[in-house]
Amino acid sequence: MSKLFKLEQQLPLIAILRGVAPKDVIRITEILIEAGFTMIEIPLNSPDALISIKRLVERFGKDYFIGAGTVTTLKQAEEVIATGANLIVTPNFNEQVVQAGAQAGCATFPGIVTPTEAFSALAAGATGIKIFPISALGMSGFKALMSVLPPNTLCFPVGGINPTIESLKPLMELGAKGFGLGASLYSPNMSDETIKENAQLFVQAYQGSLAV
């Protein structure tokens, strides 16, 4: 687990900016940070993703968790780490990727579905686990998975999460510690105003889920 990552110091909502272009990435990230976000992920299948990550690291990397998603190979992980990023998120469990991220001090969240993957990821040094896609498990499957994981495991469901208490709170009640947010937060065709509104709604829904 990254020694730098402390959940209580973060808004545990990872903003997934899939498709963002380097020319837009600073502006979009500023909108999200203003709304309260502290964790920004640029999937590597976005245009010139490493350029975007490098720009964000240079601007925000000292104060926020900035990095890459869709990291599937050791080579990709090394390229991301070379930008100075401190966040690595994957759609799958690759032991080499997790170990490289952990050794570099990055907050590392590999994608898992099964208990075998989850325990292997934690043993490899993962900060937490990305439950992806959460729809593959459903509520009953997620509950069963949580029942066997170590109590303090940081589980972040991803996929189809909406900015409502109804979407977040049931998963939090089962043990979710945070979420990865994709198209319901950001897509390249959204206006800045829409992104701002989405970000505010997610922050309100998360805070509301803690309160009720």
Active-site pick, 3, 34, 41, 117:
41
From first CA to last CA, the distance across the chain in angstroms is 30
Tokens of 192: 């800045």
Active-site pick, 34, 75, 130, 166:
130
For residue 182, what is the DSSP state? Answer: -
Q: Is 90 helix (H, G, I), strand (E, B) or coil?
A: coil
Closest C-alpha to 172, from 156, 149, 185, 160:
156
For residue 4, what is the DSSP state? Answer: T
Let me know if 196 is a catalytic residue. Answer: no
> In the block, which residue shows the tokens 């009640």?
173
Q: What values do phi and psi take at 126, rounded to 5?
A: -60, 140
Is the CA virtual torsion 28, 187, 65, 81 positive or negative?
Answer: negative
Let me know if 41 is a catalytic residue. Answer: yes
Cβ neighbourhood burial of 126 (10 Å; 0-12, 13-18, 19+): buried
Rg, C-alpha atoms of the chain: 16
Which residues are the active-site residues? 41, 130
